[in-house]
Amino acid sequence: MLEQTYYDKADEIIESHGAKAASLIPIIQDIQTEYRYLPPELLSYVAGKLEISEAKAYSVATFYENFSFEPKGKYIIKVCDGTACHVRKSIPILERLYTELGLSKEKATTDDMMFTLETVSCLGACGLAPVLTVNDKVYPAMTPDAAAELVRELRGA
């Protein structure tokens, strides 16, 4: 069960975009920005408010990969494993971060909800490879040591 404040926030966001079916994507994007994920309860709630079926809202949200139904950490680290980054050794960076954060392919978010670690196929910054991002800030020419240091800095922040 979500707290009432989540529904109040959703109402505010719905109001800012207008309660119409065409506003579904901007509304759920704003909800995801607010909470760093899209709580399934709020997706159902928004569908009701916009008078569209839950199934329809769900299929829209699952069609776009960047919607997540799982809570994510305060810092979302994305390690690029596109071709340019891969050949410049992105995997050792990823492995070092898994070790540093106690995460794995199966467990993407730390228990303290500080970090989520993901891979992406290309961040569009191949000239800066290997690249990772933290909450969309780009860190170029990374190394395993630099990535570990970055995590330590963020922990202290």
| By the rule CB under 6 A, 91 interacts with ligand FES | no
Is residue 84 at the binding interface for ligand FES, with CB under 6 A as the rule? yes
- Position 125 contacts ligand FES (CB under 6 A): yes
Q: Which residues contact 75 (CB under 8 A, 6 or more apart)?
A: 114, 115, 116, 134, 135, 154
**Shortest gap between Cβ of 80 and ligand FES (angstroms)?**
3
Q: Tell which one of 52, 60, 126, 146 touches ligand FES (CB under 6 A).
A: 126
Nearer to ligand FES, 91 or 125 (CB): 125
Q: Does 122 bind ligand FES (CB under 6 A)?
A: yes
Select from 24, 101, 108, 131 the one that contacts ligand FES (CB under 6 A).
Answer: 131
**Residue 117, C-beta contacts closer than 8 angstroms, at least 6 positions apart:** 77, 79, 94, 97, 98, 101, 103, 108, 109
Q: Which residues bind ligand FES (CB under 6 A)?
A: 80, 82-85, 122-126, 129, 131
